[in-house]
Amino acid sequence: MKRTVIVFSLVLVAAMLFLTGAAALSRTLPGGTIPRGTAPTPLQEERARIITEHIQTVIARFNNNEERHIAAYQAVKAKVVEIVTIMTAKGYDTAKLSADLATWDQMVVKAGQDYAAFIASLNNAIQFAPYSSQGQFLTAIEQSRAQLRVYRQDALDVRHEYQTVIRPDVQALAAQTPVAPSSTPTSTP
């Protein structure tokens, strides 16, 4: 029993020393780079190829789905605009819904611009070779990740705006009583 505890303790200490040494080495070299004058290992070349392919897949997915996302947004917007038009013609007050729709439209445009900026930053990152660009690839990827976080927050804001503002505005129209269109008295001969 004592022998097992001693062996386990020694293995634990050795692992801690190894991890401490690896952590110290990782702080001296920029992440994702190799020292100058040394060629990337075959494993690093394979990983670099996989990373590049993954980035190209993300870009291709964006290009393939872009039209579908735009069409879905435009369909929802057209439906809400149709509701505004019909309800306004019937005498309902749709000013708040129209204003909220304009705000929502601006939020969607901003989200689209931020996503396009994310894809542009990925295209910028792909020009650098992983493991042999002296940290430029890693910097470009970090910028892409920051841009992706901005887009994801925009997407959440757009969804939240639709669910908490646009939909309740449409539902509130059902509770309204329409204002009778101004009718001019017609004289009958």
What are the pLDDT tens digits along the chain (189 aa)? 566 556 555 555 555 545 554 444 444 334 445 455 567 788 988 988 999 899 899 889 888 888 888 888 889 999 999 999 998 998 888 899 999 999 999 999 999 899 899 989 988 888 888 887 888 888 999 999 999 999 999 999 999 999 999 999 989 888 888 776 555 445 444
Largest CA distance in the chain: 117
| pLDDT the model gives residue 31 | 47
Q: Are 31 and 140 in contact (CB under 8 A)?
A: no
Q: CA nearest 128: which of 116, 117, 142?
A: 142
Q: What is the pTM of this model?
A: 0.67
Alpha helices in the chain, H assignment, sequence order: 2-28, 42-89, 95-126, 136-161, 167-175
| pLDDT the model gives residue 128 | 86
| pLDDT the model gives residue 3 | 63
Phi, psi of 33 (to 5 degrees): -120, 165
Q: Which amino acid is at 168?
A: P
